[in-house]
Amino acid sequence: MTMMLIDGQLREKPKGSDGQHHQLSSDIRNWIEADSTAPFPAEVNRYHLYTSHACPWCHRVMVMRALMGLENVISVSEMHPFRDDTGWRIDPALFDETAGVPKDTFLYEAYLRANPIHTGPISVPLLIDKKTGQIVSNNSADIMQMLNKSFGAFAGSSADFYPAELAGQIDQLADYIQTHVNSGAYKAGFASTQAAYDEAVRALFDALDVLDQRLERQRYLLGDSLTEVDWKLFVTLIRFDAVYVTHFKTDLKRLSDFSNLSPYLRELYQIPGIAGTVNFQRMREHYFRSHLHLNPNGIVSIGPQVDLSKPHGREHVGVYQKGAA
């Protein structure tokens, strides 16, 4: 049973009748700006993230926080890996007493503190303004871009993962990956009819084949430079063999069976700061213990053990070819 807030009250999320998995949209979308006069100006220790090692949409935000060197600029509360019918629970063992936020038990308390009559999913990532108590955003794509662009004066890196000249290509490919890969794995895993599962798995592996072929001729998804879209793909790839193949039955092939996606994943994992954002134990505990409709006994499978530290060999791969699909 998935819960949401309706007029400030916990209610069961309405179920679809077509056997397919439908995600609720994350619709709180304010913006942090570098301008000190903006409603949400970039400042050190003003903003706080509620996040989960389990969630791929959280993971891409945490990747951007690490890449931009914002660990000491934006504080974090981590969710407990086990999520029950009440929704995400904040892990008291990892709570940072110096973060400047109340020590809530459940994530929905943070939503209700900002808006007592909130209607919507109780989702992470959640970015709040500690000064005003308002929610800035619960849209992971927006938060990624804010971390990439808005905190330049405080960031530990000058990298730009969303360059203006590639913005259109990044958005187009990100939409494709979101629909067919990121959400595609969930559509397969949460399908409640054979037809819905079959359709979702075929679409997922068709997309993975397209991306694998793309990476045969270029080092990264859009050429010789890493962009935001690579990290949006990374967070699903890192979970594929560890969780999805078993738990979501996406077992037509393992990710390690792909000749290009597999070493590409290793290369991204080996970039400084990224391994620290990956916690397989908490990932696996969440999926296998929280989705009891898929795994009624809550048994966490033992493997596989994937060596992401071995050489990736991607240095030789050619750069982007204009006009490539």
- Known catalytic residues are 55, 186
Burial of 256 per CB tally in 10 Å (0-12, 13-18, 19+): middle
Question: Annotation-wise, does 88 bind a ligand?
Answer: yes
Q: What SS3 string covers 7-62?
A: CCEEEECCCCCCCCCCCCCCCCECCCECCCCCCCECCCCCEEEEECCCCHHHHHHH
Show binding-site residues for glutathione: 88
Show binding-site residues: 88
